[in-house]
Structure 1
Amino acid sequence: MASEDLKTIIENLQKKGKMAFLEKTTPEKIEAFEKENAVTLPEKYKAWLLYSDGGELFLPAGVQFYGIEHKPLLNVNCEDRPSDDYVVIGALASGDPILFKKNSEEVAIYNLEGGKIEEDEKYSDFDAFLIDLPSGILGIGE
C-alpha cells in the first residue's frame, strides 16, 4: 500500500498529465529481485513498485519507469550509466536514463550526451524526483 506522501505526489502528478500505471508488485518479489541481483533498491522506489511496477508518466512523451516483473524490466547491468555505482530505473523521453546511486536513496538523471550527472539533476530520494518531475524536469507549467 502506498504511503500517504506517495499518494499525494501521485494525485498531484495526475492533475498535470496522462499516466499509465502498471499492476503493483509484492515485497516478496522485490526482496527476491534484490537478492538475485545483489542490489538494494532505494526505499522510496520500492514504495513506488508496490504502487506501480514500472509505468509511464506524462504520456505520450514523458518518463518511463522500469519494473521488476512488468516490461521494460529493471536491468542492474544496463550500459546507460556513468559507472557500476548506479542502477538505471527508467528514462526520460529524451533517452537520458534515470538512475539511483547504489547504497543510497539518491536519484539522478544521467546526461548521456554530456556523459555526466548535473548537480541540479540529483535528488535526495525518489519522492523528491517525482515532485520536481512536472515543472522542474519536464517544464510542464503549474
Structure 2
Amino acid sequence: MRTVRQVLESKNPEVQAVGPDAPVIEALRLMAEHGIGSVLVLDGENRLVGIVSERDYARKVVLTGRTSQQTRVRDIMVDTVTTIGPDDTVAHCMQLMTDGRFRHLPVLEDGRIVGIVSIGDLVKAVIEDQQVELDQLQRYIAS
C-alpha cells in the first residue's frame, strides 16, 4: 500500500491557505481558482489553526443567510483538524476520512505543513495500485 509521501510526489506541492480573519469570499476565490474543495487556515506564524471547505460554506454561510463578504473564515472553519504524516498509508487515511466524514487531510512533518491529500487523491492511488496488481496477475497467468 502506498504512503502519503508517495501520493504527494505525484501532486502539485503548493498548498492554498488563508488567515482566520480573512473574509470567506477570499477562501472561495482560492478554491475556485485552483479547482480545490478546501483551504487550510493558518495563523500569522504559519501554524495550522483550521480548515474550511465548500461544505462548510454551504452549511454555515448559505444556509444561515450570512454573506461571504462579511463572514470571517474563523466563523465557519473546522478548528479541530485531523492531520496525518507523510509515512501514513493510504488505507489509514481512507479510514480516517470515512470515520470522520471529511474529504481532506493536511499532511504535517516535524510540525510544518508539507501538503494536503483529498479523497480523490487517495482513490486515484488505490486504483493505480490495483491496476498494477491486475497487470502483474495477467502477466503471471499468461506466462
Report the TM-score, using the length of structure 1 for normalisation: 0.30
For CA contacts below 8 A with separation 6 or more, give which structure has more relative contact order. Answer: 2
Larger radius of gyration: 2
